[in-house]
Chain A
Amino acid sequence: MKIIVAIKQVPDTNEVRLDPRTGTLIREGVPSIINPEDKNAIEAALSLREQHGGEVVVISMGPPQADDALREALAMGVDRAILLTDRAFAGADTWATATTLGLAVKKLAPYDLVLCGRQAIDGDTAQVGPQLAEYLNVPQITYVRAFALYDGHVRATRTMEDGYEVLEAPLPALLTITKEANKPRYPTAPGIFRAYREQQVERWGVADLGADPEGVGLKGSPTQVKRSFSPPPKEPGEIIRAAPAEAAKQLVSRMKQKNLI
């Protein structure tokens, strides 16, 4: 059984502070981490390997510094780590990212499962997993909080806003994993020192993937950022100061004005 996990290195938003004067993010000195729900995906892959045997391959598209995220995955116990890095990949939106990851997954075929975290804490789009499944033309189940394999199928519990669905799909399939699925293991202490001193992170660029340079990175991204801005602060609420009966009257008339009732 071969399980491929796609991960992203993100800034640790717990460590991001606001500059009290300018109100902007202080990025300096913020550590980079594996996106938290991608760790849930790694954990799911590792426990699957413990039950069924096989190989866990982790891939990530990113700058050379993303090497650290892959080392951490190695320290958690994955078998192989591949960094997709190339100047041509820079500036990718979710579409171009999914294309790049898809080329790598195809190069790694045959595979049984592709796992992704539900969404990244920096972009919050939750798009790359589904787009990757479309690119690969395999079934996808998103928002998975539990799953099991049987007879070449996967049966997964998918979290909905108002309940859950149980879905089945034939393998190979792609799942996006939520934080409810498991508690990611710690990288082990010996694993950390082995990952940096003895193990390798493979590097694949445009040529290794046979990618069309026009189809990846900024050039392959249909999304264009026009402007970025902080949303204006919410206007403060209004307190109606009057005797209760009078206040209630005023409140009702306001709500009518705003077509709320």
Chain B
Amino acid sequence: MDFSFSKEHELFRRMVREFAQNEVAPIAAEIDAEEKVPFDVLKKAAKVGLMGVPFPQKYGGAGAGEIGYCILMEELNKVCASTATIIGAHTGIGAMAIYLDGTEEQKQKYLVPLAKGEKIAAFALTEANAGSDAASIQTRAVRDGDYYILNGSKIWITNGDIADVISVFAVTDPSLGARGGVTAFIVEKDYPGFRVGTKETKMGIRGSSTAEIVFEDCRVPAENVLGQFGAGFLTALKTLDVGRISLGAGCLGGAQIALEMAMDFAKNRYQFGEPVAQKQAIQWMVADMATEIEALRSLVYRTAWMLDSGNMGREFSTMAAMCKLYGSEVLDRCVDKCLQIHGGMGYMKDYPVERMYRDARITRIFEGTNEVQRLVIATNLFRKIGLRIKG
């Protein structure tokens, strides 16, 4: 066994950390307060190759694999969950769907500019009546000559209003249901019949944009079918599986910084004539945070290593769900303890802890609620001993 990072991954982490500290951290509070997408940061990130980190260099990526991508998400989330969410939706699911299931032509046409950060991607599955029950999507795609005509709408789409290219899932045969009846499409924002609907205002990750996107007789060229016709649901699940690892990595970064801030505060905050770190109540919180963080780190990077080793089987899917589930819950507990240790100061908007607490809450919900992750894990586990969970 070897748990060490390669030298290139270590240098990459140092570079990302510097970039995050110098370019992202200074704007984190402002973009949260003003609900402002940091386009300037995205441009800088593109220039240094941070918009397509996991993809091979022949597709415009960094060639850093999933391990490298997890490093990026971990380090970015230490300073700004909004920026990490934008890049995560762009790279980790929007462009990832094209990387996993696109044809060579589609990769050249779409993945290359996305990986270089010349264009922004989004991933559109969720609808008003299809969240955890993703199979119930109602957006329809009907063939018309060399085109498909899309009708319907998707909600809560990260980057929905800033994306140039969107991986969209639509029903092509209602009689077949999710398996066989759903197809994935690559949609460009300039296609006729595409428009952005309501923009949401959120509790956290407020510097990332979340929007409704609407298809009204939207004409999508037939060559933009992504993956096999009728196999769109598999593309969605596979993409989300991969996305869950880096989501866990993001949670790891958030939890780690919460621990560091809590320790720093506990060392410098005096009550009863000594640092509050001298109190066992604080020590136990710190010890619990650190222990869970180390367990999460091992889980995340082991799962990333599995993917980089070419393992995308059921065990991988289970582990990826665990990354998302455990990561978001460790993050939740860590920011909560961090805020508690900061006391009143943690509750004030002058300190980043308040923002971190709000930003953390979404991770238990998006990209598959934690309840769905538990269902995935249990289903995979029971299948091994011959019991089919009905779901």
Contacts and interface: CB of A to CB of B under 8 A. Distances in A.
Partners in one complex: yes
Interface of A: 31, 33, 68, 71-72, 75, 185-197
Interface residues of chain A: helix, strand, loop or mixed (majority) = helix
B15 interface: yes
B6 A192 contact: no
Contact of A189 (B7, B12, B18): B12
Interface residues of B, number: 21
Given A71-B7, A186-B48, A193 B62 contact: yes
Contacts of B61: 190
Contacts of A193: 8, 12, 57, 62-64, 68
A64 B16 CA distance: 25
Contacts of B12: 189, 192-193
Interface string B37-77: 00000000001111001000100011110001000000000
B19 interface: yes
SS class, residues of chain B in contact with chain A: helix
Of the candidates A189, A190, A193, the one having the most CB atoms from chain B within 10 angstroms of its own CB is A189
Given A186-B48, A190-B49, A193-B62, 4 more contacts: A187-B15, A190-B57, A193-B68, A196-B7
B11 A189 contact: no
A185 B64 CA distance: 20
Contact of B11 (A68, A185, A190): A68
Interface of B: 6-8, 11-12, 14-16, 18-19, 47-50, 53, 57, 61-64, 68
Nearest to A183: B22
B6 A189 contact: no
19 contacts: A31-B14, A33-B14, A71-B7, A75-B11, A186-B18, A187-B11, A187-B15, A188-B49, A188-B62, A189-B15, A189-B48, A189-B49, A189-B68, A190-B62, A192-B12, A192-B64, A193-B8, A193-B12, A196-B8
A186 B47 CA distance: 10
A195 B61 CA distance: 15
A190 B8 CA distance: 10
B7 A68 contact: yes
